[in-house]
Amino acid sequence: MTTLVYLIPVALFLGALGLSGFLWALRSGQYEDLDGAAERILIERDDKPER
């Protein structure tokens, strides 16, 4: 019982961390262009980042 008192919050915290990570990725537009992201990894960029 006592282990549960801290194990459940830990489990929920980790889950919530994943959830907030997903929501952040969604908001910052990382799902806008899935096909493009897959291809862009093959493009050699100049040293300066574009944006």
Partner 1 sequence: MSCCAPGAEMALDLGSVTSILPSSQEIKLASRSLGGGLRQTDLSVPMVHCGACIQSIETAIAKLDHVDAARVNLSTKRVSIRWHGEEVPPFVATLGRLGYQAHLFDPEVEEKDKTLSELIRAVAVGGFAAGNIMLLSVSVWSGAEGATRDLFHWVSALIAIPALAFAGGIYFRSAWNALRHGRMNMDVPIAVGVSLAYAMSLYETINHGDHAYFDASVSLLFFLLIGRTLEHVMRERARTAVKGLSRLASRGAMVLGDDGTRDYLPVCEIEPGMKMLIAAGERIPVDGAIIHGTSDLDCSLVSGESTPSTVAPGGVVQAGTLNLTGPLMIEATAAAKDSFLAEMVRLMEAAEGGRAHYRRIADRVSALYAPVVHLTAFVTFIGWMLASGDWHRAITIAIAVLIITCPCALGLAVPIVQVVAARRLFENGVMVKDGSAMERLATIDAAVFDKTGTLTLGQPRLVNASSIDPTMLAIAADMAAHSRHPFSRAMAGFAGFSGQPKLESVSEYPGFGIEASATGNTWRLGLRGWAGWKARTGGEGKLGGFGATVLSKNGIITASFAFEDALRPDASAAVKQLKDTGLSVEMLSGDTARACGEVAEILGVDRFVPAMLPSGKVERIETLAKGGHKVLMVGDGLNDTPALGAAHVSIAPATAADIGRNAADFVFLRDSLLAVPLALDISRKAGRLIRQNIAIAIVYNTVAVPIAILGHVTPLIAAVAMSASSLLVIGNALRLRGFASNAPARIAPHNRRSRIGEWARMS
Would you tell me which residues interact with partner 1 (CB under 8 A)? 1, 4, 8, 11-12, 15-16, 18-19, 22-23, 26, 32-36, 39-43, 50-51
Residue with tokens 């919050």: 9
Nearer Cβ to partner 1 (41/47): 41
Q: Which residues contact 31 (CB under 8 A, 6 or more apart)?
A: 25
Q: How far is the CB of 5 from partner 1 (least distance, A)?
A: 8
Going from the C-alpha of 21 to that of each of 6, 11, 25, 46, the distances in angstroms are 23, 15, 6, 29
Nearer Cβ to partner 1 (18/47): 18
